[in-house]
Structure 1
């Protein structure tokens, strides 16, 4: 987060920091800072497939939060959310011998935090261009997380050449570019439709493993991918959104 944040810092005008600093801090904490910490805490404590399945509950949690606000989901939205979770579970689930409930709580909380953050983007980020909003959130979240990491007293992991190359890809490309595209979508599409697009992440990961690492694509995984994509398409249907 620090690397893309520093690289994208010049894209944030000083006027934005002066006038919108508290909105940026709230959004960066929800969408990037707290979310990232909870996400990796869950991944470290749970099998990757289980963590991915729990995080895939984000669309359903977002619909529940909107229902608590008086905006009830359509039956198609609920069907797409539940079906999406089932599809991700069929695709990546790894049954653990022992369930770490702290990891479960972290993964579910990460989805909750991200749901709240996405809902607040059109409100707190209104009028801020996607590139500026992305740069400001990554910059502030990266600096805060770096300070917290330094104050924790924990040693930083040793970085070999492979790790440095991986960080170079994960930082500027996947986090910088990925978050920019994500917030661009949030600024252009209804929130209840954008949330479902996150279900595609496990599909991309599994497909990438087959193409890049030569992993086997079983029939069960193919059916799971079809189910996930069908639920994503179902969530985008006009009938899945109330007028």
Structure 2
């Protein structure tokens, strides 16, 4: 009979999960910061400032460089987690209604579940797969609006590509682990710098010269770089190292949920009954996905001799 591990047995897991969940929650602030504080029309420049300066600052503070095979691994992980993920996400947002883009991007946990089986040789978990799908449905109920249905092949492929890019990055991060004696800050600095260096020529080619920056924009870029970039990714990569990768991936839907909540609190948007149901379903899916069903084992009876030796 399958039961869930009792709460007292996962206290440490729950604490680490709560800390890791701060990363996608912070990423959920990106939309309101971008629309309210940053100059319009330069999403790649915002992505560049989210990655490269924070990576270089952390690199200067930790004074730790990759070595050996980690030069290549850091480059690959930086491109997958940031360098490709950010541009593809913005392409999807530009070509698709926001609700559709968010829903397709929320498929990342489902992809991670499949990649964990292929790359990490984990046994497929029907429990987490079901809640990953439920999370996508919940996000869809929250962010989709009547009349928002639209099909754009490039936008759909970009949204799915962004989800696949980060899913593969998360899975490879788990598979390769972290070098011995390298902390999460140094590790995050490698990947942020690699992702930022990849974004630099892409941004210059596609967006040209950077925009004029005023005071609110400076605050927005600082938030995206230091909090949404460096701090969030330190927590995220630490969580990947300490928790099951599918468990971490299932925290991803918190990002669009926080974005929707900030839309209500900051932008005056409203949530109808369907959106509230989707909000509740997503929270339940994220929470339930952190539990691991296990088989109840038949207790072994102790002999009198074993009891006397206790």
Global fold match (TM > 0.5): yes
| Alignment map for 1:105-116 (pairs within 5 Å) | 105-116=157-168
1: distance between equivalents of 2:95 and 2:124? 33
2: distance between equivalents of 1:44 and 1:37? 11
2: distance between equivalents of 1:40 and 1:240? 40
Greater Cα radius of gyration, structure 1 or 2 = 2
User: What SS is found at the alignment partner of 2:67?
Assistant: helix
Q: 1:152 to 1:217 in 2, by over 3 A?
A: closer
| Cα offset, 1:240, TM superposition | 7.7
Structure 1 residues not aligned, in runs of 5+:
none
**What TM-score do the two structures reach when normalised by structure 2?**
0.71
2: distance between equivalents of 1:123 and 1:97? 37
1: distance between equivalents of 2:209 and 2:142? 35
| Alignment map for 1:80-229 (pairs within 5 Å) | 80-94=131-145, 95-96=147-148, 98-127=150-179, 128-151=182-205, 154-229=208-283
User: What SS is found at the alignment partner of 1:174?
Assistant: helix
1: distance between equivalents of 2:257 and 2:294? 22
Is 1:76 the counterpart of 2:139? The answer is no
| Cα offset, 1:222, TM superposition | 1.9
2: distance between equivalents of 1:170 and 1:192? 26
Is 1:40 the counterpart of 2:90? The answer is yes
Conservation of the 8 A alpha-carbon contact between 1:199 and 1:232: yes
Over the aligned positions, Cα root-mean-square deviation in angstroms equals 2.2
Match of residue 18 from structure 1: 67
| Alignment map for 1:44-55 (pairs within 5 Å) | 44-55=94-105
Structure 2 residues not aligned, in runs of 5+:
1-50, 296-310
1: distance between equivalents of 2:160 and 2:260? 22
| Cα offset, 1:72, TM superposition | 4.4
**What TM-score do the two structures reach when normalised by structure 1?**
0.89
2: distance between equivalents of 1:103 and 1:152? 17
